[in-house]
Amino acid sequence: MKIFTVLVCIFGAKWAFSSGYEAALDFHCTDSVDASTTSISTYVEKLSLWPLDQLYATYLDYHRLGNGITLSGCNKYDPIKIAKIAEDAFKTGLSCLARHSESSVLLAKKVISLTENPLNELIIGCMETGDPFKLNLTDKDTLNMPSYLAGYSVACFDDRFPFVYLNMEHKVVRASGKGAAKVIFHEVLHSTGLFHTKSHKEMKDEGAIQSGDLIYRTIQCCFEGKKEFCDLM
């Protein structure tokens, strides 16, 4: 599926210095996140994200949205609109995961648990191509946001965790709220500790639904409405 090839994630610096983003898969945080005990339906019913703290936002460009989710760096991009896109991402993704298998329910509960530490909210950051971002290995590693990345998720051992970035200049993010919602949820799934079993490009080239991992299946099933992927979740 074409859209999937541009949903990219980075988990470590090795990616930057080697041949492609597959190397990012070297950095595992498997099982880093415990499952929440909050029921998925309870969480989704409360989901009504809205910038809560305008004063805070004015000075620091953080918008607390409620439900343990915060926007960062989004002032120039209509934070209310982005809040609604984020709400759609979480509602669509979590409600869908709740309907399928034991493993998809567990995944939804891990997503919820990312939002349950009041001192360390899940942050969705707005970035632009060329913005510097710091990678996880050393203090001096800084890269610019490459134009082909739609978003990425910081690794669980990074002190910013849980934090996902959206490249606001990427064509998928710019094209529609649905595209941006898919990128947000894709990256949030990485934050639970999930990795791709193959690169985005390999999955696209093979074109076989069996080759997709749980992230791929979730996005195809829940956001693209492709039932054949739901059957594999």
Q: Strand 69-72 relative to strand 62-66: parallel, antiparallel, unpaired?
A: antiparallel
DSSP 38-98: S-HHHHHHH-------HHHHHHH-EEEEETTEEEES-GGG-HHHHHHHHHHHHHHHHHHHH
Query: Considering the complex, what minimum distance in angstroms separates the CB of residue 151 from Zn ion?
Result: 8
Residue 179: count of CB within 10 angstroms of its CB: 20
Q: Which is nearer to Zn ion, 44 or 89 (CB)?
A: 89
Residues 2-41 as x/- pattern, contact with Zn ion by CB under 5 A = -------x--------------------------------
Query: Considering the complex, what minimum distance in angstroms separates the CB of residue 200 from Zn ion?
Result: 6
How many Cα neighbours within 13 Å face the side chain of 168?
18
Q: Which is nearer to Zn ion, 43 or 161 (CB)?
A: 161
Q: Which is nearer to Zn ion, 47 or 154 (CB)?
A: 154
Query: Considering the complex, what minimum distance in angstroms separates the CB of residue 82 from Zn ion?
Result: 20
- Find how far residue 181's CA is from the centre of its chain: 9
Q: Considering only 1-9, 12-20, 37-45, 80-88, which stretch makes contact with Zn ion by CB under 5 A?
A: 1-9
Q: Which is nearer to Zn ion, 115 or 218 (CB)?
A: 218
Query: Considering the complex, what minimum distance in angstroms separates the CB of residue 196 from Zn ion?
Result: 6
Instruction: Assess contact for 213 and 198: CB atoms under 8 A.
Output: yes
The residue with its CB nearest to Zn ion is 9
The one-letter amino acid code at 211 reads: S
Q: Which residues bind Zn ion (CB under 5 A)?
A: 9
